[in-house]
Amino acid sequence: MLSEKNKEIFLGPISKNNPVIVQVLGICSALAVTAQMMPALVMSLSLTAVLAFANVIISLMRNIIPNRIRIIVQLVVVAALVIIVDQVLKAFAFEVSKQLSVFVGLIITNCILMGRLEAFALGNKPWPSFLDGIGNGIGYSVILLIIAFFREFFGSGTVFGIQVIPDAFYEWGYANNGLFILPPMALIVAGCIIWIHRIKNPDMQE
Amino acid sequence: MKALRNYLDKIKPDFEHGGKYEKLWSFFDGFETFLFVPNSTSGRKGVQIHDSVDSKRVMSIVVLALIPALLVGMYNVGYQHFLAIGESADFFSTFFYGFLAVLPKIIVSYAVGLGIEFAIAQVKHHEIQEGFLVSGMLIPMIVPVDTPLWMIAVATAFAVIFAKEIFGGTGMNIFNVALITRAFLFFAYPSKMSGDSVFIRTESMFGFGGGQPVEGFSGATPLSYAAAGKDLVGITGEPISWWDSFLGLIPGSIGETSTLAILIGALILLATGVASWRIMLSVFAGGAIMAQIVYMAGGSTLDMGYQITLGGFAFAAVFMATDPVTGCRTNIGKYIYGFLIGVIAIIIRVFNLGYPEGAMLAVLLMNIFAPLIDFYVVDANIKRRLKRANA
C-alpha cells in the first residue's frame, strides 16, 4: 500500500517539493482567496479533490490518449471535475462559493493541475498518481492556510470568522492592519514562508 | 573629545578579536566610526579614491539639513494645537508642546530601526551601516502628528526588514525606506493617516496643553479641501494664502508644511554637494509644468504656486527624490527621473480623489523605474559612440 517509493511520492510535495513555495505554482489563487481562512480552506479542499481524481482518471487513460491531443483531454477531464466541485459547493456551501466566485472555475487553469498531470499522471499507475495528487493538494493547502491565517489574524482580528483579538486590545488603540487584506501582503507572507523554509533546508538555497 | 578618544582606545581591545566582548565588535565599530573619522588608510597599490567625507559624514549633513524643517514642524504642531483649542500661547510654550509631541516619534523610529539594523549586523557579522540615520529622522517628519507610536514602530520594522535588509542592507535597497514606512502606514491604517482628525493634536502631551476644540474646528488639510473642490481654509475657517502655505503654519504632516524651511535644507544639501541639483530642479519643473497645465485645463483650483508649496511635494523633491541609492545615477537619467516624479505627483493628486497627496506614490513608482532609465541612458550612449567609431 505505502511502499517506500509511494511514501516519497506522497510526502515530497508537502515540504521539499512543495508546489507553491518550491515550484512557485498556483500563486495566483494563493493571493486571491487567502484574505480569510474559510474560503482558503474550501479552495484547498476543492483543489485537492480535483487534483487527486484528475490524476487518477488521466493515469487510467494514459495508454490510450494520443500524444498530440493530450492537453485537450486533460482539460476536458479537469473541467468536468471542476464543474462537479462548483455545483457541490453551490448546493452545500453557497455563502463560501459566492466568496470564491470565479476562483473555483479558475482551478482549470491552475498551474499545479496541468503540471502534475503532465509530469506525473501521464507516466505512472493510478495508485501512485492518486497519492501524488493528494500530496500536492496537501502541500498547496498547507501554504494557503498559513497565508490565510496571518492575513485574517492581522487583517481582521479573526480566525475562521471568530474574533480572537479581544475587544480590550481595540480599546487600547490597537487597529487591524488593512494591508493584510490587500493581495500584496499575501505575496510578502508567501515570501516569508519561503525564507523560513530555505533556512530549515540549507540544501535548497541557491 | 580627547578624553572620549582615550576612553574608546582603552576599551577597544575588549571588542577586538579574542576580547571578552568580541561578539559586539560591529556595535563598537559603528559607534567609533560615527564619533571619529576612521584613520585607516587605503592600500598602497592600485588606484584608490579616499575622502574623509564617508557615508557617515554624508548622512550627518542630511540630518543637519532636516533640522530647519523639523523645528518649524514642531512649532507648527504647537501652533495648530493652541489654535484648535482656542488658547493663545507664547512662543516658548507653543514650541515646547510641539517638541513634546514630536520627540517620542523620533525616539521610537530610531530605537526600532537602529535596533533591527544592529541586531542584523551582529547576526551577519557585518559592519553597522549608517543608512538609517537619515531614514530614522525622515520617518517622524512625514507622518501626521496623531499617528500612534506603536504604528510607527510596526511600520518602521516592516520597512527596515522588507525594504532594506532583504535586499542586502544600506545601499542595496530599491525603494526609499522612509517612504515605504509611510506607504505601509497609509495602506495598513488609512484612518490614522488621512482624513480630518489626525493632523491636529488636541489632547495634552504629558499634562502640558490640551483642551476642547473650538466651535467650527476642522482638522482637514488644505489638499483635502482642494480635492473636494472647496476653498482652502485653516482649522478655524480662516482662508489660507500662498504665503501661509509657503511659511508652513497650516495643517499637514509634521515636517513637510513649511516650504521655506525645506528650502533652507535644500540650500545646505546643494552647497555641500550631497544632493543632486538636477533631480531637485527637475522635480520642481515637472510638478510646476503639470500643475499649470491642469490648472489651465480646469482640472484643479490650485495653480502651480500652491501645488508646489502645499502638502509633501517640496519635502519629497528635496529629501526623498534625491536619495542617491534609489534614484538615477546618470545625469540625463536624473532629469527624466525627477521630471516624471513631479508630473506623476500632480497627476495622482488631482485625478485620484482617494489620494489627496501623490508625492509619496510618485517617488516610489519612479524608484522602480530608476534602474531602467539608467540602463537606456547608458545604452544610448554606447550606441552613439559605436556609431561614431564605425563611421
Among A170, A179, A181, A192, most B C-beta atoms within 10 A, so best to mutate, is A179
Any domain includes A191: yes
pLDDT digits (tens, 9 = 90+) for B212-253: 777 767 777 777 777 777 777 777 777 788 888 888 888 888
Cβ contact, residue pair A175, B189, below 8 Å: yes
Q: What is the pLDDT of residue A202?
A: 82
Name the pLDDT band for B9 (thresholds 50, 70, 90). Answer: confident
Whether residue B190 lies within 8 A of chain A, CB to CB, comes out as yes
Q: What is the pLDDT of residue B109?
A: 93
Q: What is the pLDDT of residue B40?
A: 65
Whether residue B192 lies within 8 A of chain A, CB to CB, comes out as yes
Is residue A178 classed exposed, middle or buried when 0-12, 13-18 and 19+ CB atoms within 10 A define those classes? middle
Q: Which of B373 and B8 is assigned the larger pLDDT? A: B373
Give the CA diameter of chain A.
Answer: 66
CA B293 vs. chain centroid, Å, equals: 28
Chain A residues close to B188, C-beta within 8 Å: 177-180
CA pair distance B88, B92, nearest whole angstrom: 12
Chain B residues close to A173, C-beta within 8 Å: 148, 150
Any domain includes A37: yes
Per-residue buried b or exposed e for B202-230, using 16+ beta carbons within 10 Å of the residue's own CB = beebeeebeeebeeebbbbbbbbbbbeee
Q: What is the pLDDT of residue A199?
A: 87
- Domain assignments of chain B as residue spans, ordered by start: 22-37+56-212+223-272, 275-382
* B29 Cα to chain A: minimum distance (Å): 28
Among A11-20, A72-81, B23-32, the minimum mean pLDDT is found in B23-32
Cβ contact, residue pair B192, A175, below 8 Å: yes
Residue-range definition of the domain harbouring residue A50? 19-128+136-198
Name the pLDDT band for B129 (thresholds 50, 70, 90). Answer: confident
Q: Which residues contact A66 (CB under 8 A, 6 or more apart)?
A: none
pLDDT digits (tens, 9 = 90+) for B155-169: 999 999 998 888 887
pLDDT, average across residues B252-271: 90
Answer whether residue B23 shows pLDDT above 70.
Answer: no
Whether residue B148 lies within 8 A of chain A, CB to CB, comes out as yes
Q: What is the pLDDT of residue B333?
A: 93
Q: What is the pLDDT of residue B343?
A: 93
Any domain includes A73: yes
Answer whether residue A133 shows pLDDT above 70.
Answer: yes
Chain B residues close to A178, C-beta within 8 Å: 187-190
- C-alpha cell at position B13: 581591545
- C-alpha cell at position A157: 482580528
pLDDT, average across residues B124-134: 78
Kindly write down the DSSP assignment for every residue of A80-102, as one continuous string: HHHHHHHHHHHHH-HHHHHHHTH
**Total domains in the fold of chain A:** 1
CA pair distance B75, A6, nearest whole angstrom: 72
- C-alpha cell at position B126: 557585518
Q: What CA dihedral angle connects B130, B132, B133 and B139, to 10 degrees?
A: 170
What is this model's ipTM?
0.82
Name the pLDDT band for B371 (thresholds 50, 70, 90). Answer: very high
Per-residue buried b or exposed e for B1-26, using 16+ beta carbons within 10 Å of the residue's own CB = eeeeeeeeeeeeeebeeeeeeeeebb
Q: At what angle do helices B331-351 and B277-296 cross, to 10 degrees?
A: 30
CA pair distance B118, B128, nearest whole angstrom: 6
Answer whether residue B52 shows pLDDT above 80.
Answer: no
Q: What is the pLDDT of residue B68?
A: 92
pLDDT, average across residues B29-40: 70
* B370 Cα to chain A: minimum distance (Å): 22
Any domain includes A8: no
CB B145 within 8 A of CB B200: yes
* A10 Cα to chain B: minimum distance (Å): 33
CA pair distance B172, B325, nearest whole angstrom: 7
